[in-house]
Amino acid sequence: MSKSTGNFLTLRQAVQLYSADGMRFALADAGDSVEDANFVAETANSGILRLHTQLEWTKEVLAGLDSLRTGPADLFMDRVFETAINNCIRLSDDSYSKMLFRDALKFCFFELQSARDQYRDMASAGSDGMHRDLILRFIEVQSLLLAPFCPHICEHIWGLLGKETSIMEA
C-alpha cells in the first residue's frame, strides 16, 4: 500500500474492513525488519478466514471431548505432536524476545497449525484417535502464544476452555 499510488487505508478503515485481529495478524506478517512493511489485503482476508476456521475447529473439538482418547499420551504420534508444540513454544518465545514478529506469527500460528493437522491426520489414519489432553494443551498453548497478535479471538477461545481469568492474566 502506498499513499502516492492511492491505495492507502487509514487504520479506522482497515479495522472496519478486516477487524482488529485480522489487521494485527496481517501487520505481524507484513514485516519487521528495517525494510518497509508490506501490508497485503489478501493476507488480512486469509488471516480472518484462518482465525475463524481455528475458532470453529476449537468449538467442534470441545463439543466432542468425550470422544477423544484418554490415558497415557505415550504413542509415537503423541510424542511427535508434543515435541512440535514444545518447539513452537521455544521458537515463538525466541522470536518475540528478538521482536521478530513475522517469525513469531509463523511459529505460534502456522507451524502449530501444521503440527496439529499432521497429528490429526496420523490419528485418523490409525484406530487410536487424538489424545484429549494433548488437544487441550494445543488449544491453550496456541491461544497464549497468539494472544499478542489476536487478543480478541484468543480471549474468546480462552473462555471456551473454561478459564475464569482473562488470557492477559495467564
Per-residue pLDDT for 36 more than 70?
no
The pTM is what? 0.89
Fill in the amino acid letter for 34: V
Percent of the chain with pLDDT over 90: 68
Residue 69 pairs in a beta bridge with 131
Angle, helix 20-30 to helix 151-160, in steps of 10 degrees: 120
List phi, psi (to 5°) of 40: -125, 125
Distance CA 113, CA 85 (A): 10
SS3 content of the chain, % helix, strand, coil (to 5): 70, 0, 30
Average pLDDT, the chain: 90
Per-residue pLDDT for 129 more than 60?
yes
Q: Nearest CA to 2 among 31, 33, 39?
A: 39
Measured at the CA of 118, the angle between CA 167 and CA 86, to 5 degrees, comes to 45
* Residue whose C-alpha cell reads 491461544 in the numeric block: 143
Per-residue pLDDT for 37 more than 80?
no
pLDDT at residue number 58 = 97
